Structure 1
Amino acid sequence: MSFTRRQILAGLAGLTVVGLGAGGARYWLGRPGDTASHDYELIAAPLDVELMPGHATRVWAYGGQAPGLELRARQGELLRVRFVNRLPEPSTIHWHGIRLPLEMDGVPYVSQLPVLPGEYFDYVFRVPDAGSFWYHPHTASGAQLGRGLVGPLIVEEREPTGFRHERTLSLKSWHVDGAGAFTDFSVPREAARGGTPGRLSTVNGVHAPSVELPAGQIVRLRILNLDNTLTYRLNLPGAEARIYALDGNPVTPRPLGRDYWLGPGMRIELALRVPEAGAELALRNGPLRLATLKSVASQDALAGDWPPALPANPVAEPDLAAAETLRFNFEWAGVVSANLAQGAAHSFWQINGQAWDIDDKSCAERPIATLRQGRSYVFELRNVSQYQHPIHLHGMTFKVLASNRRRIEAPWFTDTYLLGKNETAKIALVADNPGMWMFHCHVVDHMETGLMAAIAVV
């Protein structure tokens, strides 16, 4: 697939700025006044922030903040985002979890050319599913995500859901030292294991913040793991909390329980019954406090029953009786390129014996599997390693069916599945979106050291 620079620069004409918010410009496109419109100019640029007290860190921000500006759209409508690159290097935007046309997927040399410094690109696509999603580059991912280029994308349901209050909590750990300077985003010995961890945990860009919630209300908490590497063992001791959605897709509401493992790229939506004013709850990663949820006085009447289950997204149900089964082994390779002295990449991981080379722009021309459009498939995912891998598929949504390591009582739809060590899981999908789609681990330095492949739908 080839591209011209004119394709990169082509954009919507005649846009007029009507207001500014949180560093991004919001546009009105001349649509009828009774139709919701959510359109943004999203500028990526360097920004000095204080991550470590008393020290400035030069991050890379979307819309003047890191994590980036929260974008919102309504289910079924077009989202139009003009991405403006004011960084010192090329970049793109991938819309994680959104089912969209290939040319909007943001993968360089597969769906588009990288957007060069000083250029812009218009992403225009319809959002078919409601839920919590996010966006990030697919160029130099370890460094660009590591510097702060991540942000939430919230797609609102068409009709009211029964939730009157909500909060978005973006989780990210930063690779910085005590003076706020960036450390290595990927260390080979860590990339060959569980991934290179950050040092400083943040929620919405702040370390251990206090988040105020209205007393007596049921609040929808959208929790997004925007980290390069870290899997969070989320827990809320002493809280009344129920799970309403996983990775943008509704589930039958159930208690949160003791904890939930949220891998990189994954999202969870909770309904939290906020206790009386003055009470505090700890949002934790295992024993470590991520944030304090503080109940403050509210003028609203006390909440009644829990809201009903969220409406299902229009995802095609796979035909398991007619499905073809494909098997994928995610395994450790431990191979180091002989050209490391010339700056070539490490290759520690592979899928079915093939390691993705991030420096080879032709890798996508050799898909690991070719699916026929409209047919159903079962993928058997086998983790032949001692480390977890959040496996993410672009362009399509799949259904989790079974696992040899955990009990799957109610299959659910998702775009990212946390594959545990030595786990074999089965997922199913309808190959309903033509294109060349990335299939990879979302521990970013696993992806960049081989754990990625392309899947063609023709």
Structure 2
Amino acid sequence: MNRRNFIKSSLLVAMTSTLPRVILAATPSAGFDYELIVAPADVNIVSGGSTPALCFNGGYPAPVIRAKQHQPVRIRVINKLNEPTTIHWHGMRIPIAMDGVPFLSQPPIMPGETFDYEFTPPDAGSFWYHPHMNSVEQLGKGLVGALIVDEAEKPDFDEDLVLCMKNWHIKDDGSFTALTTPQNAFRMGTPGRVMTINGQIHPTYEVPASGAIRVRFLNVDNTLLYQVNSTDPQAQILAIDGNPIAQPIALTEHAVGPGMRLDLGVIAPSKVGETVTFKHKGKPMVTIKAVASQFKDRSLPKLPLNPIPAPDLDNAETIKFAFEWNANITPIEKDGEVSYNFWTMNRRSWEGMSKGHIPDPLATLERGKTYIFELSNLTQYHHPIHIHGHTFTVLSSNKKAITPFHTDTVLLGQNETVLAALVADNPGRWMYHCHIIEHLKTGFMSFVEVT
């Protein structure tokens, strides 16, 4: 055991009680790395009473699934809800059969049924998982979890904090408020009342003084865009949406929309008891506190870049996508229910799908070809545009200077147009939508097909 590992092991016992609250995965079935049991469970978020949530393995936060780059991972999902579900592995470039979209890539997991997922992550970084059925309720009530893919050669950080950001739609007694209303779905979405990190309100985690700390923020919220900043002016942005950036940059304030992730690097304070706090719009979210260690003169490890295919921009085809409000009169269904469709992609609201009924794709892409998506937000609200199975290379914006970077979720501001390239190298029918869940459920969803 080298000196640094000895120091780490010596600190482990002292720091165990202050690490992020984590639920262990159930004992997996033979041949599986993880087993996720999807079922209702009461959780404690506020002091006034328990919350009747939907959970993985009986609690919140969900188990942190850790896989390794280029190595297969097998996950068994058991549905103990009274409704169907699936699991989507957000940000992962994996085969279509493992993508977790009902009817488009797999049959729904019916109550009492089991589904086995197996894939080999090509990319390392911070990802997450969630259902793609009854999304407002299933995600809103707690079915969200972190998926961390460790690098093939893991960087030598002294602590790795996985922090899921979620606003809960609950009252002071723990009971749920409305997860959505038509008035809010038509605008920015319905905000929650209680801001949490890993299910706790402004927690403090102890880290080794002067240690190199990796801080992973994952926005698993249905609605809220977080503006992340820090009391440490030396905090560095290391990765955006699971993808390391070539040259880390100083964190001033970074927008993290629903579905998006942000990896930061900080050197912990050298003085025991000193703290660094991360905030959203001036409101503290989480604090790290230095405890005794023997580290000194540490620097932040460099993250290796992911093997994202380079787009052939000289031979790329440009496809225009316009995102707008649906100005039509809201239709009434035969049963008298109102069908709320507020959002359109190229003047088309998502029609829904079922077994034997898959709508036409929004675009058909030729396998192996480079495309430039011209993403135009023609509304006054921001939209995090997420594509499954692929990674965008963001090229430019009409609103701000862009240093090209890789992402699976492009955040569009008011009246912003962004050019984002991708290599259509993963065959299948890939969901393509706004990740504000109420927008997704009211028309802002479609799919592209790679032939």
Q: What TM-score, normalized by structure 1, do the two folds share?
A: 0.90
Rate the CA distance shift 1:340–1:385 in 2: closer, same or farther, 3 A. farther
- 2:381 maps to what in 1? 387
- 1:101 maps to what in 2? 95
Separation in structure 1 between the aligned mates of residue 30 and residue 66 of structure 2, nearest angstrom: 14
1:303, CA displacement in angstroms?
Answer: 4.4
1:428 maps onto 2:430 in alignment:
no
Please, which of 38, 42, 50 is the counterpart of residue 56 of structure 1? 50
Q: Is the 8 A contact 1:399 1:427 kept in 2?
A: yes
Rate the CA distance shift 1:95–1:246 in 2: closer, same or farther, 3 A. same
Rate the CA distance shift 1:448–1:354 in 2: closer, same or farther, 3 A. same
Q: Is the 8 A contact 2:353 2:359 kept in 1?
A: no
1:402 maps onto 2:399 in alignment:
no
Q: Is the 8 A contact 1:170 1:226 kept in 2?
A: yes
Separation in structure 2 between the aligned mates of residue 223 and residue 253 of structure 1, nearest angstrom: 19
1:334, CA displacement in angstroms?
Answer: 3.8
- 1:292 maps to what in 2? 287
1:411 maps onto 2:404 in alignment:
yes
| Residue correspondence of structure 1 range 302-451 to structure 2 within 5 A | 302-308=296-302, 310-335=303-328, 336-339=330-333, 342-358=336-352, 364-408=358-402, 410-451=403-444
1:277 maps onto 2:279 in alignment:
no
- 1:189 maps to what in 2? 183
1:165, CA displacement in angstroms?
Answer: 1.8
SS at match of 1:68: coil
- Counterpart code for 1:24: A
| Residue correspondence of structure 1 range 213-224 to structure 2 within 5 A | 213-224=207-218
Q: Is the 8 A contact 1:75 1:155 kept in 2?
A: yes
The CA deviation string for residues 282-301 of structure 1, in whole angstroms up to 9 with x for no partner, is: 21101111122222222x42
Separation in structure 2 between the aligned mates of residue 89 and residue 22 of structure 1, nearest angstrom: 24
Rate the CA distance shift 1:375–1:230 in 2: closer, same or farther, 3 A. same
- 1:22 maps to what in 2? 24
Separation in structure 2 between the aligned mates of residue 318 and residue 152 of structure 1, nearest angstrom: 29
SS at match of 2:314: helix
1:304, CA displacement in angstroms?
Answer: 2.1
Separation in structure 1 between the aligned mates of residue 72 and residue 25 of structure 2, nearest angstrom: 22
- 2:447 maps to what in 1? 454
Question: Is 426-435 or 39-48 further displaced after alignment?
Answer: 39-48
Please, which of 115, 126, 130 is the counterpart of residue 132 of structure 1? 126
Separation in structure 2 between the aligned mates of residue 54 and residue 186 of structure 1, nearest angstrom: 23
Indicate the percent of aligned positions where both proteins have the same amino acid.
46
- 1:17 maps to what in 2? none
SS at match of 2:235: strand
1:22, CA displacement in angstroms?
Answer: 1.5
1:61, CA displacement in angstroms?
Answer: 0.9
- 2:16 maps to what in 1? none
Separation in structure 2 between the aligned mates of residue 343 and residue 382 of structure 1, nearest angstrom: 32
SS at match of 2:263: strand
1:302, CA displacement in angstroms?
Answer: 1.8
Q: Is the 8 A contact 1:239 1:281 kept in 2?
A: no
Please, which of 124, 138, 163 is the counterpart of residue 144 of structure 1? 138
Rate the CA distance shift 1:51–1:148 in 2: closer, same or farther, 3 A. same
Q: Is the 8 A contact 2:158 2:208 kept in 1?
A: no
1:90 maps onto 2:84 in alignment:
yes
| Residue correspondence of structure 1 range 21-40 to structure 2 within 5 A | 22-26=24-28, 29=31, 39-40=33-34
Unaligned ranges ≥5, structure 1: 1-20, 30-37
Separation in structure 2 between the aligned mates of residue 93 and residue 382 of structure 1, nearest angstrom: 29
- Counterpart code for 2:126: S
Separation in structure 2 between the aligned mates of residue 211 and residue 225 of structure 1, nearest angstrom: 19
Please, which of 247, 254, 261 is the counterpart of residue 248 of structure 2? 254
Rate the CA distance shift 1:204–1:340 in 2: closer, same or farther, 3 A. farther
CA RMSD of the aligned region, Å? 1.8
Rate the CA distance shift 1:344–1:92 in 2: closer, same or farther, 3 A. farther
Separation in structure 1 between the aligned mates of residue 283 and residue 158 of structure 2, nearest angstrom: 30
Unaligned ranges ≥5, structure 2: 1-22
The CA deviation string for residues 248-278 of structure 1, in whole angstroms up to 9 with x for no partner, is: 1110243333210000000011111111211
- Counterpart code for 1:436: R
- 1:243 maps to what in 2? 237
